[in-house]
Structure 1
Amino acid sequence: MKKEENKLSQKEFEKYKAKYQALLRFTIVFFSFGFFFPGFFLISLFLFILMIKTVPPEVRTRIIAEMEKSQQKTKTSRKENHLEPVLANQAQNNRLVFVEREPKKISVYDSYLESLRTEGPRIEKRQRYLHIALNSTLKEARKIISKIPTRKNIILEVGTPLIKTYGEDAISQIKYWTEGLYILADAKTSDLAEREVKMAKDAGASGITCLGTAPIETIDAFLESCEKYKIDSFLDMMNIENPLLVLKKLKKIPKVVMLHRGVDETEKNKEKVIPYYQIKQIKGSYNTLIAVAGGDTEREIQSAIFNDADIVVLWKDFYKYSPKTPERITKLLKKINKRESSLEIKTSYSLEYSGL
């Protein structure tokens, strides 16, 4: 009989607890609205009295003690375990989990939130960039990021596969792992431009991509949204024969125009070449930066640099981490910096040729 009474007592407590919490919530809500609608103060007062009258004092004391204990446990857990948000692709469900990391003087969780609120770097003209595209997994991305120096002329792209796998949390995570690097969200926007631009900005990106094959209305909305949310616009001209025809239809010009030969094109169509001659055409007509993507061989990299590309995009060497990754980054930065120095002293290289 005693066991049955204990069970019944627990059930009654749970009922009282549910009633108390519901009345407490409604009391707070109506009290808040009372500042705008004075009549709501009376409703909140009535609910408060009802809560006091219907829930016995000893039960209220127990409920409040449990709530305080739960809050304290959460705070202690965050402080002692130094939690860091990390995305884990577990079976069929991608979800945000927490793992332990090195202790810091300030809360890692607070630091993480602050990093997203911090205004990121912006693209600068007369600056040459090495653009590293991360397209594998967050695990591989973290290994590569650990070897990337904090330089203002490095763009770190959160590739489309990462965004599709982990969502916008991939942007937030990579933003957290980096210190001051430029983060580009390769969203390849083709519709709902403002929504995707805001999503990328809120996640911590400094730039976002839109497809040149998207409707002109979408591209115009994309460029307008990028100005609104203070994020750099990249227009990806993959599968566009003549980028100038697209640019002429736009109300505004993107910060960066990307000449892009796709991965499948590169692997299955050996005759498909990157149109380096279009760099001069576009720069001659519009005040914009040019990125070249799809050429990962030494010859193609040299051609992009020689033909005055502002941004050289690479992904193959950075799909998987290897011991040679740091050395590779150093060599590429030297090539880009060398070209930048030669431009400053106005060398008379012709842009008509691809450097072959």
Structure 2
Amino acid sequence: MSRNLLDTKTRYLQLAFNYDLSLARQIIPSLPKNERIFIEAGTPYLKYEGMRGLREMRRMWKGHIVADLKVSDGGRQEVEMAHQAGATAVTALGSSPVETLNHFVSRCAELSMISMLDMLGVDDPLERVMKMRHPPDVVILHRGRDEESTRGKVIQYRHVNRLRSKFDVVISAAGGVDLREARSAIFNGANIVVVNLVKPGDDWQGIRTDQDVPAIAAEFLTTIE
């Protein structure tokens, strides 16, 4: 699926699973079947469960599934791996070599997958994209989980207009997104908000797994509509 299947006038909710398969099995079947919801196999989830975890998500969910591989090398091969396991979108790190990013975007396009470039730790996302042969489908403005508790660390929405002035890209906002941050993301021009599912006792922002996740997901969809 390429970018033209992502409506730039539509706002999407990406629910990030960062634990194990048992939690995914508990929550995914209960979620509303809505084309505006993406399911993310988060990086920790993929490290726990591997491609088997992706295949299980595909069995439970018919819509978009994002493999948050954060590709940093071997761009073509890792895209193929995610595609074979059922993902429709995959992430690469914006700090990766430009050769890797070019292979990554090219292979995603060949396989009709959505290419997502994660700008975690990148000071100037526009500069990175301008060095590439072709832009990705999605640019992720990302405040890392370890950065959430750092005073003054915020999602850098100032890059939205700079990116859009040069490229027709979809913008995703990730990192400590609650309802308030989701509103801010949409106000600042984001198309996708990434919300972590967070177990009780963990300090990250998101939707707590001991709450009514389907109801809160529906509230997010209404908030960002």
* TM-score past 0.5 threshold: yes
Query: 2:9, 2:220 → 1: CA distance?
Result: 18
2:119 corresponds to:
237
Residue identity (%): 35
Say if 2:183 and 2:224, in contact at 8 Å, map to a contact too.
Answer: no
Secondary structure class of the residue paired with 2:148? helix
**CA distance change for structure 1 residues 242 and 182 in 2, over 3 Å: closer, same or farther?**
same
Q: Does 1:307 align with 2:188?
A: yes
Say if 1:135 and 1:319, in contact at 8 Å, map to a contact too.
Answer: no
CA deviation map 1:101-144 (0-9, x unaligned)? xxxxxxxxxxxxxxxxxx89953332210010000111111111
For 1:309, give the aligned amino acid: A
CA deviation map 1:188-208 (0-9, x unaligned)? 000011110000001010000
**CA distance change for structure 1 residues 120 and 183 in 2, over 3 Å: closer, same or farther?**
farther
1:188 corresponds to:
70
Over aligned residues, Cα RMSD in angstroms? Answer: 1.8
Query: 2:166, 2:47 → 1: CA distance?
Result: 35
Q: Does 1:205 align with 2:91?
A: no
Superposed counterparts of 1:108-147, under 5 Å = 122-147=5-30
1:263 corresponds to:
145
Query: 1:294, 1:244 → 2: CA distance?
Result: 19
2:217 corresponds to:
329
Secondary structure class of the residue paired with 1:194? helix
Say if 2:141 and 2:155, in contact at 8 Å, map to a contact too.
Answer: yes
Q: Does 1:253 align with 2:141?
A: no
Say if 1:155 and 1:182, in contact at 8 Å, map to a contact too.
Answer: yes
Secondary structure class of the residue paired with 1:239? coil
**CA distance change for structure 1 residues 183 and 300 in 2, over 3 Å: closer, same or farther?**
same
For 1:202, give the aligned amino acid: Q
Secondary structure class of the residue paired with 1:250? coil
For 2:118, give the aligned amino acid: D
1:82 corresponds to:
none
Say if 2:2 and 2:109, in contact at 8 Å, map to a contact too.
Answer: no
1:167 corresponds to:
50
For 2:71, give the aligned amino acid: T
2:101 corresponds to:
219
Q: Structure 1 stretches of 5 or more lacking a match?
A: 1-118, 338-356
Say if 2:172 and 2:192, in contact at 8 Å, map to a contact too.
Answer: yes
Q: Does 1:158 align with 2:41?
A: yes
Say if 1:213 and 1:240, in contact at 8 Å, map to a contact too.
Answer: yes
Query: 1:222, 1:192 → 2: CA distance?
Result: 8
1:293 corresponds to:
174
Query: 2:138, 2:64 → 1: CA distance?
Result: 14
Give the alignment's TM-score, normalised by structure 2. Answer: 0.91
Say if 2:140 and 2:174, in contact at 8 Å, map to a contact too.
Answer: yes
Residues paired across the two proteins, number: 217
**CA distance change for structure 1 residues 246 and 120 in 2, over 3 Å: closer, same or farther?**
closer
Larger proportion of strand: 2
Say if 1:292 and 1:312, in contact at 8 Å, map to a contact too.
Answer: yes
Query: 2:207, 2:219 → 1: CA distance?
Result: 18
Higher relative contact order (CA 8 A, sep 6+): 2
**CA distance change for structure 1 residues 320 and 171 in 2, over 3 Å: closer, same or farther?**
farther
For 1:336, give the aligned amino acid: I
